Amino acid sequence: MNTALRSKSSDTTLTGLLWIAPWIIGFVIFLAVPVGMSLYYSLTEYSLLEPPAYIGVENYVELAGDARFWRSIINTAIYAFFSVVLGTFLAIGLAVLLNQKLPAIGLARSCVFLPTLVPLVAASLGWMWLYNDEFGLFNVILRAMGLPTPDWLGAEGWAMASLIIMGLWYVGGAMVIYLAALRDVPQALYDASAIDGVSPMRRFWHVTLPMISPAVLFNVVMGIIWSIQVFAVPYIMTKGGPDDATLFYTMYLYDNAFVFGRMGYASAMAWIQFLAIVILTGGMFLLARKFVHYRAA
């Protein structure tokens, strides 16, 4: 009897493995093997034109003394912090506003979400024209009002702020998630707080925010990951300038890999970036134990 059960279990396991074999093969070929190769390349000097030469941890040691490496980290940290914080406040505010019963509310929601459907390249080119110091809409309006017209993308003090402002254009995706979370807040909690005489602001702080905190956690984690890996928008709009003011981490990694031909050095940077994302994401989930509230099933 036991032999028959073991045989049936083995057949079931084999059948299951056969069904998921395409995924396993794809995972090994397109993820596991490249990840393992990048870890090895990070310990080598590899120019893509010659076989990799093992040099141990020299790439990591060189990174510790690379001024542009640290500049890219600082720039990325500044961008990530302001993008995530401002994006979270703006997305929640829009979600609360668009959750009201207002005229043409469906059209308003569509307009906020629409920018997320625009390809990054097209959006970057459009914003470059908006930021144009001579003919851009922003400077035209400022000039008409008699106010100073900054060189948005060409001045070191404005370039980073310009990219952060442009990034807020994409809050529509997070807003939709918050909007769905708001719809899931039990009305009974609002009714009970209203009976107790709780003000709308305290009601939002003590009822709404805790109830949508899982959605906040998800959007913040995704925002951190996206911000740390930002590449296309600053690469198209500023090329890292002026004076490396918008040189982001992934841009410097790309330059080392495909411009300078230092694939081993770039692989080391990629692993540092991966570990940074893991640490930050893990830290967010640790904080979530205290600040994120889940509804009981």
**E strand intervals along 39-198:** 44-45, 53-54
Structure tokens at 198: 């709780």
Residue 134 reports pLDDT greater than 70: yes
Instruction: Give the percent of the chain with pLDDT over 70.
Output: 96
Contact of 259 with 33, CB cutoff 8 Å: no
Q: What is the pLDDT of residue 7?
A: 63
pLDDT tens column, 139-150? 999 999 999 999
Residue 194 reports pLDDT greater than 60: yes
CA distance 143 to 147: 6
Q: Is the dihedral of CA 237, 129, 121, 123 positive or negative?
A: positive
Q: What is the pLDDT of residue 93?
A: 95
Q: Is the dihedral of CA 233, 238, 242, 244 positive or negative?
A: positive
Query: Any idea how long the chain is?
Result: 297
Q: Which single residue is written with the structure tokens 């009002």?
A: 145
**Cross-strand bridge partners of residue 44:** 54
pLDDT tens column, 280-295? 999 999 999 988 988 7
Question: What is the pTM (predicted TM-score) of this model?
Answer: 0.90
Please, which contacts does 156-159 make with residues 24 or more away whose CB atoms are closer than 8 Å? 156/242, 156/243, 156/245, 159/238, 159/241, 159/242, 159/245, 159/246
**E strand intervals along the chain:** 44-45, 53-54
CA distance 294 to 282: 18
Strand duo 44-45 + 53-54: pairing? antiparallel
User: What are the residues whose beta carbons fall under 8 Å from the beta carbon of 256, sequence distance 6 or more?
Assistant: 262, 263, 265, 266, 269
CA distance 130 to 150: 12
Contact of 168 with 82, CB cutoff 8 Å: no
Radius of gyration of the chain (CA): 25
Phi, psi of 16 (to 5 degrees): -65, -40
Contact of 224 with 84, CB cutoff 8 Å: yes
Q: What is the pLDDT of residue 9?
A: 65
Q: What is the pLDDT of residue 275?
A: 96
Closest CA to 169 of 233, 212, 97: 233
Helix/strand/coil for 53: strand
Residue 237 reports pLDDT greater than 70: yes
* Residue of higher predicted confidence among 240 and 71: 71
Domains of the chain: 71-291 (1.10.3720.10)
Q: Which single residue is written with the structure tokens 């590449």?
A: 231
Closest CA to 96 of 169, 171, 191: 171
Structure tokens at 103: 């005229």
pLDDT tens column, 46-90? 998 899 999 999 999 999 999 999 999 999 999 999 999 999 999
Residue 297 reports pLDDT greater than 60: no
Structure tokens at 273: 């970036």
pLDDT tens column, 18-30? 999 999 999 999 9
**E strand intervals along 40-186:** 44-45, 53-54
What band does 12 get if pLDDT is binned at 50, 70 and 90?
confident
Contact of 264 with 45, CB cutoff 8 Å: yes
Q: What is the pLDDT of residue 178?
A: 96
Q: What is the pLDDT of residue 1?
A: 47
